[in-house]
Amino acid sequence: MASFLARAQWLAAVALTAATASAQVPPPVGADEFAQRRAAHWAWQPLREDGPPAAGHPVDAFVDHKLAAAGLRRAPPAPPHTQLRRLWFDLVGLPPTPAAVARFVADPSDAAWAREVDELLASVHHAERQARHWLDLVRYAETLGHEFDFEVPNAWRYRDYVIRACRDDVPFDQFLREHVAGDLLPVKRLGDGGADESVQATAAFWFVEQTHSPVDAGKHEADRVDNQIDVLGKAFLGLTIACARCHDHKFDAIRAADYYAFAGFVQSSRYVQAPLCPLDVQAAPFQRALSAQRQLAAAWAKAHGAAPEPTTAPLALRDGDRVVASAEDPTTGWFVVNDGFGPQPWRGPLCLDPAAAAPELRQLPGAFWHSAVAGRRREGTLSSPTFPLTARYVHVRAAGEHARLKVVVDGFHLVRAPIYGELHKGVGHPDAHWVTFDCGAWSGRQAFVQAIDQRAHDLADPERDRRAYPDEAWIAVQSVVLSPHAEPPPAAAEPPLPPHAWTEPPVAVAAALAALHDAEAALPVSPTLPAMADGSGRDVAVAVRGDHRRPGEPAPRRFLQALARDGAMATGPGSGRQQLADAMVTDGAPLVARVLVNRLWRQLFERGIVRSVDNLGALGDPPTHPELLDWLAADFLRHGWLQKRALRQLVTSATYRQDSARRADADASDPANLLLHRQNVQRLDAESVRDALLAISGRLDPTPFGPPIELAQETIIRARGRPERAGPIDGAGRRSIYLAVRRNFLPAMLLAFDLPTPFATVGMRNVSNVPAQSLTLANDPFVHEACARWANAVCADRALTGLEDRLAAAFTHAFARPPAADEVAACRDFLAGGGAVAWPDLLHGLVLAQEFLYLR
């Protein structure tokens, strides 16, 4: 008992000490120390413009200069087949074809190498390979994780966007602008079929793990925004900005005010499903549908001898009622995404279904934002301004069918019982009525109302979990009222319209109905994907010691103080993300360029010039070749931010093409190969292992793009949130980048080979060598199936006339080289006594060899 009491007293003392410490605000970094940090660290400095130290290839000149200073020299070129295998896996993630091997071995000249490089860079397979690198940085996933692993609808469209951007060699500054503010760019980049490519990049913000029922939505928002800032800072700037959440950065020239300035950009933005091919509501096709609605109303009224009268519907407000937003006054700050709600609120009669057997004309009382003004197939999201919940009830005047309303508190979208079920309500009545939300549990928090008419379900949708909403859905919203009263304010009744009394509609009415139907049918419906949308711009208060419950002074939204040329930033009424993107590619250009070329270098040389590729700050590794890094970054900027050109420059260097064989004298002077006296040996990453098996077995389906391929049901663990859909064991032959990425159900084979879990930026994957990898290759059903297919293809190929031809083809597929004489002899002996399964077993043995897994 005495020891128990002593321990309890000790724990109480620790708790008291922690509480006392948490009440103290650490002193901010002074101006002098901040300036010293900025001046002392290399990454904050402008790019040096020093040219290469010698003639020839610039990469080789810089590397050879450092080697010579250490009394070393570069290794000789690797054998042609080794070079080619390395190049193919680095640039396209696939093994070279036997034809490519034969071609290059016959002519390993520099000109032939350059042609091979250009062909690979032009391939869509290169785009898929580069896209996979980028998906690691934005922790791409198609589900939210946590307990139920809810889906992010249409997340896979972002993956296709990245592949297209890599295919088209979109300049990286444009790529960055699209990621930060693609929804706000004044000139959008249009892609295949006129799709808005720019907005699709903003989906990257929403690949953040989220909890569906947090006790504290404010804490959830703080953690979500922290992850979004962390990914943005590491992926583009190579800085750990999120380390300044609780106090000024301990080592870098980053203040807590910088962190909360970035938080302001994010918290002034909202999750939506944005259209890929937005329809211009001011253009003739959309206006034709609106005009047809009005002409129908006029024809209908004329048939009854009455003129349609627009109505107004003022609310009878009581003490304490406050109108947050009203369609009667569209200047109250509505935010509209997609075309469903048209250019402005609708006032007057409306026909929801002109093709119905007995079409009706309906009229809501007053002005409403109506998502069916151009037909029920239209989609859209309508949001109110952000407002503090200073009263208990939120009343929304609405009408609709198969649609929904949400009150989004503290940016929390996963509104679902048992805690947040009150905040998500279906709208299923065509007459105007009040929908009331009891928000007493969130008093004082920031909120906005969202009216949603779209096929894609909501995040953690309680009404249509993982299922699409019907096409005929629509919603109309008139007012959002914040009130202390549980009962909504009195509102005008719907004005009566004369019902049709005819068996057949008059000719003019029939013609107007046909014209409306044709105009609505002519409007294409765009698919959607998760994206950012602007909301009410606001500066976020610096949270004392990172505690969102203890707000301090607001931090104005701006770029990092250490890089910004101007201290202030004119963000306007919205989020200001466009201004942030501009600053990142102007003020931050040297740092962004260093980070990017360092990532490209890591892809080709196993580690970056700065080994800590996601952290170029004070706690990161220093560059091994700082002059080379700066020259590459400056050259990258001078030549239009083009990644393919930068990659071409690196792989055409002798430094890249050199052998990886160890030399005792060089290893003694440079044991970690920091000076690059030889090429580094690299193990294939997880996707390349699987894709190589598909390629050599002849099963690879080269079709790019499209929805994800679900994992085979037998490979998925049985747990809550387990997907209902399933795919074939070989993933239909599609490349690994097209497999579904469900956070709680990642493919076991890829995990064995160090596929990262998608929770944070991963610029350099772990590379392990564990028994699970050999066991996976030995036992996985997919591997056995691939080897059986491969064996059938080798044995059925009539161009291979004998055993030695078949062995040469198999070895070339697996290792990009023919077998040696002793290997031929061993294989012949194995096949002689192996029976019917000899060939599959032999080829399985090649897959199990270390040479299959490593690039020399």
Is residue 310 very low, low, confident or very high in pLDDT (cuts 50, 70, 90)? low
The bridge status of strand 362-370 relative to strand 380-383 is: unpaired
Crossing angle of helices 781-796 and 686-697, in 10° steps, is 30
Q: Average pLDDT of 647-652?
A: 98
Is residue 18 very low, low, confident or very high in pLDDT (cuts 50, 70, 90)? very low
What is the predicted pLDDT for the residue at 193?
A: 86
Range with the lowest mean pLDDT among 134-143, 171-180, 329-338, 628-637? 329-338
Q: Residues of the chain with pLDDT > 90: what percent?
A: 84
- Stated as kind and residue range, the H or E segment containing 692 is helix 686-697
* Cβ-proximal residues to 738 (8 Å cutoff; 6+ apart), any chain: 159, 706, 708, 709, 731
Nearest to 589 by CA among 622, 625, 636, 627: 636
Tokens linked to 591: 């740092």
Is residue 50 very low, low, confident or very high in pLDDT (cuts 50, 70, 90)? confident
CA distance 839 to 302: 83
- Report whether pLDDT(617) > 70: yes
Is residue 3 very low, low, confident or very high in pLDDT (cuts 50, 70, 90)? very low
Question: Measured between alpha carbons, how far is residue 155 from residues 142, 492, 742 in Å?
Answer: 5, 42, 11
Question: Measured between alpha carbons, how far is residue 654 from residues 110, 679, 754, 768 in Å?
Answer: 10, 10, 30, 29
Residue 692's region, left for phi above 0, alpha for psi from -120 to 50, else beta, is alpha
Is residue 831 very low, low, confident or very high in pLDDT (cuts 50, 70, 90)? very high
* Phi, psi torsion values for 650, nearest 5 degrees: -75, -45
323 exposed, middle or buried (CB, 10 Å; 0-12, 13-18, 19+)? middle
CA distance 452 to 381: 5
Q: Residues of the chain with pLDDT > 70: what percent?
A: 95
CA distance 681 to 673: 11
The bridge status of strand 269-275 relative to strand 446-453 is: unpaired
* Phi, psi torsion values for 534, nearest 5 degrees: -70, 145
CA distance 846 to 783: 12
Question: Measured between alpha carbons, how far is residue 776 from residues 37, 686, 781 in Å?
Answer: 48, 12, 9
Q: What is the pLDDT of residues 76-87, one digit of tens each?
A: 999 999 999 999
- Report whether pLDDT(1) > 80: no
- Report whether pLDDT(780) > 90: yes
What is the predicted pLDDT for the residue at 155?
A: 98
Tell me: cis bond preceding 418? Omega within 30 of 0 counts: yes
Residue whose tokens read 């940090």 = 37
* Cβ-proximal residues to 494 (8 Å cutoff; 6+ apart), any chain: 363, 364, 365, 431, 432
Crossing angle of helices 821-832 and 838-848, in 10° steps, is 140
Q: What is the pLDDT of residues 175-202, one digit of tens each?
A: 999 999 999 999 999 998 889 999 999 9
Q: How many CB atoms lie within 10 A of CB 277?
A: 16
Tokens linked to 115: 């042609």
Q: What is the pLDDT of residues 511-555, one digit of tens each?
A: 999 999 999 999 999 999 999 999 999 999 999 999 999 999 999
Q: How many CB atoms lie within 10 A of CB 527?
A: 14
Is residue 500 very low, low, confident or very high in pLDDT (cuts 50, 70, 90)? low
Q: What is the pLDDT of residues 548-586, one digit of tens each?
A: 999 999 999 999 999 997 767 878 889 999 999 999 999
CA distance 326 to 585: 39
CA distance 703 to 691: 13
The secondary structure of the chain in percent helix, strand, coil, rounded to multiples of 5, reads 45, 15, 45
CB 244 within 8 Å of CB 530: no
CA distance 461 to 439: 19
Q: What is the pLDDT of residues 126-151, one digit of tens each?
A: 999 999 999 999 999 999 999 899 99
Tokens linked to 258: 């910088």
- Report whether pLDDT(24) > 80: no
- Report whether pLDDT(714) > 90: no
Counting every residue written for the chain, the total comes to 856
What is the predicted pLDDT for the residue at 22?
A: 44
Is residue 308 very low, low, confident or very high in pLDDT (cuts 50, 70, 90)? low
Nearest to 439 by CA among 453, 424, 425, 423: 423
Q: What is the pLDDT of residues 220-274, one digit of tens each?
A: 999 999 999 999 999 999 999 999 999 999 999 999 999 999 999 999 999 999 9
CA distance 321 to 314: 13
Q: Which amino acid is at 262?
A: F
Say how far residue 3 (Cα) sits from the centre of its chain.
Answer: 53
Q: Average pLDDT of 35-51?
A: 93
- Report whether pLDDT(314) > 80: no
770 exposed, middle or buried (CB, 10 Å; 0-12, 13-18, 19+)? exposed
Q: Which residues pair with 387 in a beta bridge?
A: 447
Is residue 20 very low, low, confident or very high in pLDDT (cuts 50, 70, 90)? very low
Q: What is the pLDDT of residues 457-489, one digit of tens each?
A: 999 998 888 899 999 999 999 999 999 999 999
Q: How many CB atoms lie within 10 A of CB 690?
A: 26
Is residue 505 very low, low, confident or very high in pLDDT (cuts 50, 70, 90)? confident
Q: Average pLDDT of 301-319?
A: 77
Q: Which residue has the higher pLDDT, 717 or 505?
A: 505
Q: What is the pLDDT of residues 720-729, one digit of tens each?
A: 778 888 899 9
What is the predicted pLDDT for the residue at 26?
A: 60
Q: Which residue has the higher pLDDT, 524 or 497?
A: 524
Please state, rounded to an integer, the average pLDDT across all residues of the chain: 93
